[in-house]
Amino acid sequence: APTAGASSGSGALSPFDRQLKRKQKNWAALQAEPAKCEYLREEVGAAAGGPGRPPRQGGGGVGEARRAGGTFPLALDVGSGRGYIAQHLTKETVEKLIQVDIAENALKNAIESEIPMVSVVADEEFLPFKEDTFDLVVSSLSLHWVNDLPKAFKEIHHVLKPDGVFIGAMFGGDTLYELRCSLQLAELEREGGFSPHVSPFTAVSDLGHLLSRAGFNTLTVDTDEIQVNYPGLFEVMEDLQGKYSNCSWNRKPLLHRDTMLAAAAIYREMYGNSDGSVPATFQIYYMIGWKFHESQARPAERGSATVSFGDLAKINGLLSKEKK
């Protein structure tokens, strides 16, 4: 299988430079205070790996996915980074965890966890594991950077055991819409055109279909929005450089100073808060999917219904008769 950092080249089918993403993540992991740029990963990691439901939404974390209070003997964290999910796992939920990331520095500086862990440097697009290996696969804020998301979902499904579960979180299509709009308007005004400065994201309408095509069933897909306030556009972009740098092949590396100043003014005018700060919105998709097993509940056979849609208006009467 291709090694960490493998890339199939630029183009519409491969929008991301995986070698660059590896360098970006390695650089971020070596910063003096990496935790300063990780508050969003911390919150989403807690939602995916914790015992309850993600904040403000109805999806479930690892603790909720356990069957009858049991544990997951072997779990895999795809694109683990420094361990944003692992730190929220306990011995009561997971017995052993394998962390996979493209960046070796992130794995070397992993956050401590009470469960035994093994680190593997590998590209999330090419998982180096056999079929039916893991009871649980988790992933938080990493899959939006893979070039072939349908293939990544199929690989995750492949390494799961029957009745295994995948719990993931990734950025959604409305992420950083304030920043994107401000930069585009400023470039159109000052330079007569614009280039993408924020990585492309998947639409929620496509997510369930992609998971289903990969073989997952009993799907749950929820969306959430996290809004962070900054002093201004320059602080937004500085913060993003520390954790979510764009690695698209068609990115524009530099912005003219006049364009940046215009974008900052547009940002504040269109989206600014009353206290002078500006908001940055991050849309999060939470997803849960199970790999089929004979023990799982199945839908009733076609034609087995005893009540038709035409009888729905009489449902109250039917229920009353049953009670009597």
Establish if 260 belongs to a structural domain: no
pLDDT at 57: 44
Q: Give Dmax over CA atoms of the chain in angstroms.
A: 77
CB-CB contact of 48 with 54 (8 Å):
yes
Mean pLDDT, to the nearest integer, of 292-299?
A: 70
Tokens representing 318? 């039917």
Establish if 161 belongs to a structural domain: yes
Kindly report, residue by residue over 229-270, the tens digit of the pLDDT.
Answer: 999 999 998 888 755 555 554 455 567 788 889 999 999 999
Which string of b and e fits 53-79 if b means at least 16 CB within 10 Å? bbeeeebbbbbebbeeeebbeebbbbb
Half-sphere exposure of residue 27: CA atoms within 13 angstroms, side-chain side: 11
3-state secondary structure of 73: coil
Establish if 244 belongs to a structural domain: no
Kindly report, residue by residue over 48-68, the tens digit of the pLDDT.
Answer: 776 544 444 444 567 666 554
pLDDT at 211: 94
pLDDT for 9 beyond 70:
no
Ramachandran angles phi, psi of 138, nearest 5°: -125, 155
pLDDT for 6 beyond 90:
no
- Among residues 55, 11, 9, the alpha carbon closest in space to that of 222 is found at 55
Distance in angstroms (rounded) separating the CA atoms of residues 271 and 66 = 42
Return the DSSP state at 231: S
Q: What is the CATH number of the domain that holds 117?
A: 3.40.50.150
Dihedral (CA of 226, 229, 233, 237) sign: negative
pLDDT-wise least confident of 167-171, 203-207, 276-280: 203-207
Res. 202 pLDDT band, cuts 50 70 90: confident
More confident residue, 43 or 5: 43
Return the DSSP state at 301: P
Establish if 310 belongs to a structural domain: no
pLDDT for 96 beyond 70:
yes
Q: Which residue has the tokens 């409305």?
A: 174
Which pTM was predicted? 0.77
Distance in angstroms (rounded) separating the CA atoms of residues 278 and 178 = 9
pLDDT at 45: 84
Establish if 289 belongs to a structural domain: yes
Domain count, the chain: 1
Res. 294 pLDDT band, cuts 50 70 90: confident
3-state secondary structure of 57: coil
Distance in angstroms (rounded) separating the CA atoms of residues 260 and 61 = 40
Domain that holds residue 212: 18-174+200-229+281-293
